[in-house]
Amino acid sequence: MITKAEMKYYSSLLKKNCRDEENKFLVEGEKLILEALSSRLECEVVICKKKFFDENDETVELLRKLVHRFEIISEKEFQKIQATVNSQGIVGVFKKKPTKASSNEIKGKLIAALEGINDPGNVGTIIRTADWFGVKEVLISNSCADIYNPKTIRASAGSFFHLTVIIDDNLIQSLDSFKNKGYKILCADITGKNIYHYKKSEKEVIVFSNEANGPSTELLNIAEERVTVPKKGMAESLNVASASAVILSELTKN
């Protein structure tokens, strides 16, 4: 049984400051909870509403074997912890995974980095896209949307749990460190070179920025080359998540 104090505590995790203080976050939905568990994240409790419990015997049986605590609550109570309007009716409370690392711990030949992207849906989608193209490491500047925002987690479609996602307090300094290790620093920018004409290097970091403001001056100064997806029609700009798919596709071609 869940107490009122516990429900208040779990609902507080919908807020970033509480997630930061408690080092925990919510995962909503059957598939994402199973993805989080498969990545060995520590689960405090799984909570579902009675309707989900009644209609998903196999999932409930599996989860009860995988987690230490499984609770059933009313529809009204569940609304306090759900982040989506049309929720499946199941939420897990997890401990955050490590998101700090030094450049020495990152070994990939292609690294994706995000600067100032404040839409959680875009952040999550780029993480998912990186995973699709085999990019295992993603640097996130602290000016980006919270990676533990429920929208970020949902948009990543589980990829967040399987990649090395690093929150970087000083992205420019890290990029400089990668440059010293032989990585070429690329920047996605609307004024850049056609990505289809770009000649790949052995090791690269590709940085995606806020589509409204573009790359920061500091990023433009450190980037060795700017690349873009060529425009054919009348659209003013391309969504950064969409652009990341095209660019990562080109950079990961054999």
Q: What is the pLDDT of residue 103?
A: 62
Q: Do residues 167 and 193 share a domain?
A: yes
Query: d(Cα 96, Cα 93) in Å, to the nearest integer?
Result: 10
Q: What is the pLDDT of residue 211?
A: 82
Q: Do residues 70 and 176 share a domain?
A: no
Q: What is the pLDDT of residue 223?
A: 97
Print the domain residue range for 174. 103-251
Cβ atoms < 10 Å from Cβ of 237: 12
- Cβ proximity of 200 and 227 under 8 Å: no
113-165 pLDDT, tens digit per residue, is 999 999 999 999 999 999 999 999 999 999 999 999 999 999 999 999 999 99
Q: Do residues 137 and 78 share a domain?
A: no
155-200 pLDDT, tens digit per residue, is 999 999 999 999 999 999 999 999 999 999 999 999 999 999 999 9
Q: Do residues 136 and 215 share a domain?
A: yes
Q: Do residues 73 and 159 share a domain?
A: no
Q: Do residues 162 and 84 share a domain?
A: no
Rg of the Cα trace of the chain?
20
- Cβ proximity of 214 and 254 under 8 Å: no
3-class state of residue 77 by DSSP: helix
Q: Do residues 122 and 201 share a domain?
A: yes
H or E element in which residue 92 lies: strand 90-95
Q: Which of 48, 69, 95 is the last residue of a domain?
A: 95
Q: Do residues 89 and 115 share a domain?
A: no
Q: What is the pLDDT of residue 107?
A: 82
Q: Which of 95, 128, 145 is the last residue of a domain?
A: 95
**Number of folded domains in the chain?**
2
82-124 pLDDT, tens digit per residue, is 998 889 999 999 999 887 766 667 889 999 999 999 999 999 9
Phi, psi angle pair for 225, to nearest 5°: -155, 145
19 confidence band (pLDDT: 50, 70, 90):
very high
Q: Do residues 126 and 225 share a domain?
A: yes
Q: Which of 49, 67, 95 is the last residue of a domain?
A: 95
The CATH number for 136's domain is: 3.40.1280.10
